[in-house]
Structure 1
Amino acid sequence: MNRMAAIFLALAAPLGVAAADAPPGNATELTAFADAFDAAQIAKDGAALEHMVADDLVFIDGDGVRHGKREFIAGWTGAGDEYDPVTLGDRVIVRLGDDAGLASAEAILSGRSAGKPFRTRIRFTDTFRRANGGWQAIHIQVTRMTLPESGGDPR
């Protein structure tokens, strides 16, 4: 065996072990859950959110105020609220192990609340954990950002 082939095999062997230890589809599964979680919020799907949000959720809103599951779901399912479709920008999905991960992105939320139009730009981070065979949101942090002066999408 030539020297380069031996070096390659020596370096590749640990990578093969690490790949074999990782649960297949975990990142894909986490991304699919994050997508479904975002869609349930925009669709105002209270039943789905009830299942997708952990009872002990910590939700930090754009003003830095700590809330829980009830307030988070109520904020997305208000009777007088309608949301326009959302495009996520600068999205990052990070596995934090086999049973935890996070999704972070920037978005411009717009729609109508109590008949009045609204538009706000946020960056959020949703932290998820796997429990009882499924994923749930356990911590959500939202930061309000300045809207671009042109009114266009900054992404």
Structure 2
Amino acid sequence: MDEIEELQALDRAWRRAIVANEAGEIGRFMSEDWVLVDGDGVGTREKFLSLVSSGALTHSRMEAVPGTERVRVYGDTAVVTARVVNTAHYGGRDFHADEWTTDVYRQTDQGWVCVISQATPAQG
């Protein structure tokens, strides 16, 4: 498996962990200083994982739209971009999202870890 295939598999595994709603499993894909940048601003790893751990935030769907994944490797950094559809459950409500996501990974002694994720709503 080359680096591109490895990163594609890693990104798919991370999405499966999010749908499994297992904070410990989700956390293994993230660096300690990981952040999520979206329309609400910048969210931290600790906040995201605490919401999952408490059950306040769950996901029942997190899938890349086939043919939209793009992976580029720049030495020990990689960028994975894809259109992702997901369903989250928060505050007693369901949220259905269609977003372009970008995950930036850094290669460490333990393998690839995500350092930042960006989500932008898809327009059509």
Q: TM-score, normalised by structure 1?
A: 0.66
Structure 1 residues 58-94: Cα deviation after superposition (integer angstroms, max 9, x where no partner): 321233x122211232355551444333331222122
Residues 100, 127 of structure 1: 8 Å contact kept = yes
* Structure 2: distance between partners of 1:123 and 1:49: 20
Q: Does the C-alpha gap of structure 1 residues 111 and 55 become closer, same or farther in structure 2, counting only changes over 3 Å? A: closer
| Correspondence for 1:121 | 98
Unpaired segments of 5 or more residues in structure 2? none
CA apart distance, 1:125:
0.4
CA apart distance, 1:111:
4.7
1:100 aligns to 2:100 (yes or no): no
Residues 42, 76 of structure 1: 8 Å contact kept = no
| Correspondence for 1:66 | 42
* Structure 2: distance between partners of 1:117 and 1:58: 23
Across the aligned residues of Structure 1 and Structure 2, the Cα RMSD in angstroms comes to: 2.2
Counterpart AA for 1:59: L
How many residues align? The count is 122
How do residues 24-63 of structure 1 correspond to structure 2 at under 5 angstroms?
Answer: 25-63=2-40
Query: Which one has a larger percent strand, Structure 1 or Structure 2?
Result: 2
- Counterpart secondary structure, 1:85: strand
* Structure 2: distance between partners of 1:144 and 1:130: 28
Structure 1 residues 39-70: Cα deviation after superposition (integer angstroms, max 9, x where no partner): 1112112111222210111321233x122211
Unpaired segments of 5 or more residues in structure 1? 1-23, 149-155
Q: Which of the pair has more CA radius of gyration?
A: 1
* Structure 1: distance between partners of 2:6 and 2:20: 21
Q: TM-score, normalised by structure 2?
A: 0.80
Q: Does the C-alpha gap of structure 1 residues 113 and 30 become closer, same or farther in structure 2, counting only changes over 3 Å? A: same
Q: Alignment identity in percent? A: 20
Query: Which one has a larger percent helix, Structure 1 or Structure 2?
Result: 1
Residues 52, 58 of structure 2: 8 Å contact kept = no
* Structure 2: distance between partners of 1:79 and 1:42: 12
